[in-house]
Structure 1
């Protein structure tokens, strides 16, 4: 959408709402913190010099929950920017931070402004790449099918996802034979939800919830995302949250690193942020403590997996959840400060991993 069309639409509205590509809405207390002109001067891979200009909006979620950005206010900001910066009537690009800062195009559906995914592309396809006559004779090791054998089903995952070797071996070695029949009946609720979403060709959103979002929910989120990738479930997105926010307990990251995840601490605050990677290609899991309904998390069409009994009992309603599944675990916190601390976290981590391996190994793609 060009700037003139956006302004014209604003003039007809009483309130502004932005919808993300996954269908969720940007929280209504957002502000537009920047309106600017971005000029990109570059040379493409074919050697052609190019100049591209976009109008850039930056959306930000303010801590001011009582005020909303009205259409006429945004129009005045745009017109000031046009006057001072000479904004051209070109396409709008929106920056908005969810897990990381993302760039979106913009459209309108009659009710919401739609933030649309922007994809990279080659601008000189005739000048780069491998000629077709050579391509057919090449053999790429990284495109060899990765095969997982599961009872009566063989899953072939052609997508190149180089999982870290230690983590891949950990998942391979997980033993699911010791899971009792009664426990499997509980886990089957999650399996059935995932299978239903896949059968309907819909995204699988899982939000693992405990009281403090500090231990069990983070272990569950990390293992679910990694094991789902291991079994080739590409439309899976896992989240975690609590009934209150505290901090991700450091021993959790040690247990994950011991299993083969790559963990990096990104901030030093009281509630630090971690990057948790399981392979070379996918975006990392962003780990920090937050409430289950924080804007960072999925807001609708998800399964709420309650990983502790206190959160299950203390959260009678999870708005937006299409399923609520209690899969509770003993809190490794009981070993904090003892000589069993590291062992307790490792045990809980591998228990969660084994049970999630059972769940995902049963999924039929």
Structure 2
């Protein structure tokens, strides 16, 4: 009897009145929200406008869900289209079954459509959302915990995952605990996200290289985690189909990293034309305002100088000769008046 283990939920759905809240769908929704929220922050930091990531996600998310489901149904068609199976179950996404390979491929197609409509280069958008996608996968993997699926080989480790009898493999119905591969992959995805964030800050990754690093790092972890799983899968040359897919995708991602660095070194200066035009307009407006303020200040200074010059002009000095004549003229009548009395006594 195991002394320690990770329990599994007894039910994968909780009913809020008449509304069923399924754990698998809830994890997917939370993961999408985190990817869009964090991608928006990174997009703004790169010079884009707020809301662009969400607008493009309106295209990318539905395409990604459809692609993920198609990949799962095509690679595991015997679960839906063989004798005793109901093909309608292929549409029951909430029961689990989303292939990350198809989700990324079709999601990229949807993102390309959204980017094209806004005049944005897809690699720049992919770099912004890369770590957010890894975080979203980390959360989404907990949906497998709710459904008790995609676990690994039997184990007696303290972190072994307890699986109910109805969900155990036919080969080991009496063994209760298995490797929690959903948890391994969730933790690996968190590490991948942190790696991309660090490398992007350290090396200024651009032109899709941050996204390529995310893909390469994820496939490394997916290879060994996939090798631990015991659920049914197609095998090619002794390896599971998803292992071969991980190898091919890893090689493509590394090749893109090398070629992209040679052809397009550095990071994009402009990621969104609308944001660049708005920034240029704001700069021109600020420059014009500065010029107007400078011109106004200069005109005010000139006016003040002119007024000061006019106020300091000296008054005209009075004419000294005119001042000298004025007293002489005013004294003449006084002399006439004084001579007149002196003649009157002589006549009497």
Normalized against structure 1, the TM-score is what? 0.18
Higher Rg:
2
Q: Which structure features the higher share of strand residues? A: 1
Structure with greater contact order relative to length (CA < 8 Å, sep ≥ 6): 2
Normalized against structure 2, the TM-score is what? 0.19
Q: Which structure features the higher share of helix residues? A: 2
